[in-house]
Amino acid sequence: MSSHEIQSPLPGTFYRASSPDVPPFKADGDPVAEGDVIGLIEVMKTFQQVTSTVSGSAITFTVDNEEPVMAGQVIAEVKA
């Protein structure tokens, strides 16, 4: 079984949900389809969606909610 890394497109703060009072876009172990939103990166009060570039049977996050990330940093892995 192979896995695919999803990298942060830019530096900022990674959020797994659109706001604190709603469920995350995806939880560890959830299936994921190409194009699914898996989180948001916030830079200077601007939010950019992070989408999966592949479909897979399960997603595993490598960073926590509200954790700072760098451009190119792996934020999740998708099992194909």
What mean pLDDT is predicted for residues 52-61?
A: 96
| pLDDT tens digits, 66-78 | 999 999 999 999 9
Q: What is the mean pLDDT of the chain?
A: 96
Q: Which residue segments constitute the domains of the chain, with CATH numbers given? A: 3-79 (2.40.50.100)
Q: What is the pLDDT of residue 77?
A: 97
Q: Tokens 């497109």 correspond to what residue?
A: 9
The DSSP string of 25-50 is S--TT--B-TT-EEEEEEETTEEEEE
What is the reported pTM? Answer: 0.92
Q: Is 35 left (phi over 0), alpha (psi -120 to 50) or beta?
A: left
